[in-house]
Structure 1
Amino acid sequence: MNTNSKGVLITGTSSGMGLAAAIAAAQNGWHVVATMRDTTKSDRLLSAAAEAGVSLELRALDVTDPASVEECLAGLDHLDALVNNAGAGHLGTLELESVQAVRAVMEVNFFGVLNVTKAALPLLRASKGRVVTVTSVGGVIGQPFNEAYCAAKFAAEGFMESLAPVASAVGVSVSVIEPGAVASEFVNNVGGRNAVVDQAGPYAPALSAYLERTRGAFANAQTSQDVAAQIVALLEAEEPPFRVLTSDTARAFAGAKLKDLDGSSVQSLTRSWIAQPAPAA
Structure 2
Amino acid sequence: MSEQTVLITGTSSGIGLEIALGCARAGWRTVATMRDLGRAERLRAAADTAGVADLIDVRRLDVTDPDSVSACVDEVVDTYGRLDAVVNNAGAGHVGTLEVDSVDDVRAVIEVNFFGVLHVSRAALAHLRASRGRLITVSSVGGIVGQPFNEAYCAAKFAVEGYMESLAPLAATTGVRVTVVEPGAVASEFVSSIGIDPDAASDAAGVYGPALRAYLARTGQAFAAAQSSADAAAVVVATLMDPTPPVRVQTSDGARQFAAVKLADLDGAAVARLTGGWLA
Q: Distance in 1 between matches of 2:15 and 2:227?
A: 10
Equivalent residue for 2:270, pick from 256, 260, 265: 265
Alignment of 1:210 with 2:215, yes or no, is: yes
Paired residue secondary structure (1:190): coil
Report the CA distance between 1:193 and its aligned residue: 3.3
Paired residue for 2:136, among 106, 128, 132?
Answer: 132
Matched, 1:106 2:110: yes
Distance 1:253 1:211 in 2: 18
Mark the CA change 1:127 to 1:253 in structure 2 (over 3 Å): closer, same or farther.
Answer: same
- Report what 2:57 is aligned to: 57
Deviation at 1:73, TM superposition (A): 1.1
Distance in 2, Cα, partners of 1:96 & 1:16: 28
Q: Which residue of 2 aligns with 1:72?
A: 72
The Cα shift of 1:140 comes to: 0.3
Q: Distance in 2 between matches of 1:31 and 1:140?
A: 32
CA distance in 2, matches of 1:7, 1:111: 23
The CA deviation at 1:4 is 5.9
Tell me the equivalent position of 1:248.
253
Q: Distance in 2 between matches of 1:134 and 1:118?
A: 16
Deviations 1:39-91 (A, max 9, x none): 01101110100110112111100000001001111231301100000000000
Letter in 2 for 1:260: D
Instruction: Give the counterpart of 1:172 among 158, 161, 176.
Output: 176
What SS does structure 2 have at the residue aligned with 1:206?
Answer: helix
Give TM-score, length-normalised by structure 1. 0.96
Alignment partner, residue 44 of structure 1: 42
Q: Deviation per CA, 1:91-134, whole angstroms, max 9, x where unpaired? A: 00010111111000000000000000000001100000010100
Matches of 2:192 and 2:37 in 1, distance apart?
Answer: 20
> Structure 1: which 4+ aligned runs deviate by more than 2 Å?
192-195
Supply the AA of the counterpart residue of 2:40.
S
Paired with 2:265 and 2:65, the residues of 1 have a C-alpha distance of 38
Q: Quick one: which of 136, 156, 159 aligns to 2:160?
A: 156
Q: Secondary structure at the match of 1:253?
A: helix
Equivalent in the alignment of 2:89 = 85
Number of equivalenced pairs: 273
Query: Counterpart of 1:65 in structure 2: which amino acid?
Result: D
Instruction: Please tell me the residue identity of whatever aligns with 1:8.
Output: V
- Report how far residue 198 of structure 1 moved: 2.5
CA contact (8 A) 2:110 2:153 kept: yes
Give the whole-Å Cα distance in 1 for the aligned partners of 2:243 and 2:91: 27
Unmatched runs of 5 consecutive residues or more in structure 1: 276-281
- Label 1:243 to 1:107 Cα distance change in 2 as closer, same or farther (>3 A): same
For residue 12 of structure 2, the aligned residue among 11, 14, 30 is 14
Gaps of 5+ in 2: none
Question: Deviation per CA, 1:201-228, whole angstroms, max 9, x where unpaired?
Answer: 1111000000011011111100010011
Partner SS, residue 135 of structure 2:
strand
Q: Do the aligned partners of 2:2 and 2:29 also contact (CA within 8 Å) in 1? A: no
* In the alignment, structure 1 residue 229 sits paired with structure 2 residue 234: yes
Between the aligned partners of 1:262 and 1:70, the Cα distance in structure 2 is 42
